[in-house]
Amino acid sequence: GAGVSQSPSNKVTEKGKDVELRCDPISGHTALYWYRQSLGQGLEFLIYFQGNSAPDKSGLPSDRFSAERTGGSVSTLTIQRTQQEDSAVYLCASSFGRGETQYFGPGTRLLVL
Amino acid sequence: GENVEQHPSTLSVQEGDSAVIKCTYSDSASNYFPWYKQELGKRPQLIIDIRSNVGEKKDQRIAVTLNKTAKHFSLHITETQPEDSAVYFCAASGGSYIPTFGRGTSLIVHP
């Protein structure tokens, strides 16, 4: 079956612009996670959605970052007024349920000039 | 919150040697410990995982051991091959269901 997909694969934007990153999880997976990976670094947790529950936003670095998940499926991560330090690879992952194996998407490589 | 330390940050071995990567965690409530392999420019992929009711798990050349008392777990790769070269991440999760990842180990296998 289809894995987790993300779009766009690459995004170049100018400082101050808003960007939207999309994640399509594996069908039937109730949990969805967003992570940020800077060059040569580990995975920094951003936000977690589980079913219809309120998302855990504890990892969002600032109020410029927000995410939503519509209909329990597709998720969009929005970064407003982008800064150069936002440049990173943004990874999405989904799992069948709480505490289950995570399957990662290919990521969106964001470059803020 | 959980804190995961991973060592070493880089590991260089000769083909055929064994490689061991170690992680420690701080939250005694953590009960799920996956390991991911990330090749350059690719997505992280699960290679093996272990839950807290098991002390060891093996899958061909890969094994993971867990010591709950000491709060550490290790990845063991035997008979390494050049295609094992990648960055390996450990993670720990528990009550919050949000994994905390280690900073990664860059494994280089020299032919």
> B43 and A98 in contact by Cβ < 8 A?
no
Sign of CA dihedral B75, B46, B71, B1: positive
Residue A15: pLDDT over 60: yes
Q: Give yes or no for A55 touching B (CB within 8 A).
A: no
- Average of per-residue pLDDT across A63-78: 93
- At B103 the three-state DSSP class reads coil
Q: How many CA atoms lie within 13 A of B91 on its CB side?
A: 28
Q: Is A34 an interface residue toward B (CB < 8 Å)?
A: no
For chain A, percent of residues with pLDDT exceeding 70: 99
pLDDT of residue B27: 92
How many CB atoms are located within 10 Å of the residue B18 CB?
11
Q: How far is A99 from chain B (nearest CA, A)?
A: 5
Task: Compare all CA atoms of chain B with the CA of A47 and give the residue at the minimum distance.
Answer: B98
Residue B78 contacts by C-beta under 8 Å, 6 or more apart in sequence?
Answer: B18, B61, B63
Facing B103 at nearest CB: one of A41, A48, A105: A41
Give the mean model confidence (pLDDT) for residues A63-85. 94
Identify the pLDDT of residue A19.
Answer: 98
The average pLDDT across B7-30 equals 96
* Residue A40 predicted with pLDDT over 80: no
Answer yes or no: do B103 and A107 touch at CB < 8 A: no
Inter-chain touch A103–B46, beta carbons under 8 Å = yes
Q: Is residue A13 within 8 Å of A110, Cβ to Cβ? A: yes
Q: Would the pLDDT of B57 be above 90?
A: yes
